[in-house]
Amino acid sequence: MTRPRSTLVLADGTAFEGYAAGFTPEGGITTGEFVFNTALSGYQEVITDPSYAGQIITFTYPHIGNYGVTPLDDEATRPWCRGLVVRDLSPLRSNWRSSEELEAFLTRHGVPVITGIDTRRLTRHLRSHGALPGAFGVGERAEVDRAAREATGTDGRDLVSQVTTPNPYTRGEGELHIVAYDYGIKETMVAQLAHRFRVTVVPAWTSAHDVRALDPDGVFLSNGPGDPAALGAHVKEISDLVGTVPIFGICLGHQLLATALGATTFKLPFGHHGSNHPVRDVTSGRIEITAQNHNYAVAPESLARAVVSHVNLNDGVIEGITAAQERCFSVQYHPEAGPGPHDARYLFERFDHLLRTGQLETK
């Protein structure tokens, strides 16, 4: 297959040459914040994770697309990422579950791709200089350079409003009733909750008053994209719920809960994106291999009303907190996985225990 030439330029002027694939946007150029993901498989789940809104995903694994795609692996109704960077985009699929080639899926959903890139060099650059905004496309080099200089990252941006559900919906038939805030919730996350509870998923802007009117046994705060510091209105609603109902948060939900408890957040240099991050449970000493996808973290010195429950063994970042008196806990990583290991799915059982007893289980 003959592909048109494409150029990738980061905001600091670093450039890469490759070939265009997938969808061609108007003007031929796409912009976003470049991050890298180290997962060896599960590219469809990664691409359809709403937490990547505003970002361009670089896959460190060289061969992407070789097992195609299937609707069974979608984490949302559509991809929200701004584009993909891959070393080798496979034109052929080989898997009995697949129903479509990856490139056809990306074209249908409007996701631009640049392939043929030295993703090792790009990843090393992002590790050294941090996640960077930039651009890629088939336009004139001067136009790509200009787009890269004008590109913005995720700092200070509310991206949740783009990805949240417009209307409430329900799943599951459990004895206990959970209200789940959708800040960009993944389908696997909903499935794990619905396996145990009756779940009402509500839009991100739902007020604490309206949540209490649903008479939930507990509240769940989902993952999502963007800067938690830009979501003050959502933090206010969570603050109104803290202490009145048990709360469990994941990823962005963890950051928002921590903020509601008085903590602050900061941006990591290049974030945690992958399915092999080691995390230690502070209380039990147990080590979990976890799936992660976040650019922001909770500042340790800012914690006052909660204690650290989990830490990342790679860099010491806070990976979980508990506030026993307020019946709240949260983790930065993704216990539902999709893709990734299932080591941490016990946390959903811990939520069930909290709802039934009012006590946080720590073993």
What's the Cα-to-Cα distance from 271 to each of 38, 48, 241, 302, 333, rounded to whole Å?
Answer: 11, 18, 29, 20, 12
Same domain, 79 and 173: no
Please give the tally of structural domains in the chain.
Answer: 2
Question: Which of the residues are catalytic?
Answer: 251, 334, 336
Do residue 129 and residue 255 come from a single domain? no
Token pair recorded at residue 319: 């990976």
Whether 104 and 224 share a structural domain: no
Question: In this prediction, what percent of the chain has a pLDDT beyond 70?
Answer: 99
Statement to judge: residues 143 and 190 lie in one domain:
no
Q: Which residue has the tokens 């048990």?
A: 246
Residue-wise pLDDT for 104-152, tens only, equals: 999 999 999 999 999 999 999 999 999 999 999 998 999 999 999 999 9
CATH number of the domain where residue 322 is located: 3.40.50.880
User: Exposed, middle or buried by CB within 10 Å (0-12, 13-18, 19+), for 340?
Assistant: buried
* 282 within some domain: yes
> What CATH code is carried by the domain that includes residue 13?
3.50.30.20
Spatial CA neighbour of 259 closest among 318, 335, 213: 318
Give percent above pLDDT 90 in the chain: 96
199 shares a domain with 315: yes
Tell which of 109, 125, 150 closes a domain: 150
Of 150, 180, 199, which closes a domain? Answer: 150
Amino acid 141 reads R
Task: Using the 3D structure, point to which of 150, 183, 202 is the last residue of a domain.
Answer: 150
Task: Encode pLDDT of 164-205 as tens digits.
Answer: 999 999 999 999 999 999 999 999 999 999 999 999 999 999
- Binned at pLDDT 50, 70 and 90, residue 363 comes out as low
Q: How far apart are CA 143 and CA 139, in angstroms?
A: 6
Domain hosting 200: range is 160-357
* Inside any domain, residue 103: yes
194 and 323, same structural domain?
yes
Does 340 share its domain with 216? yes
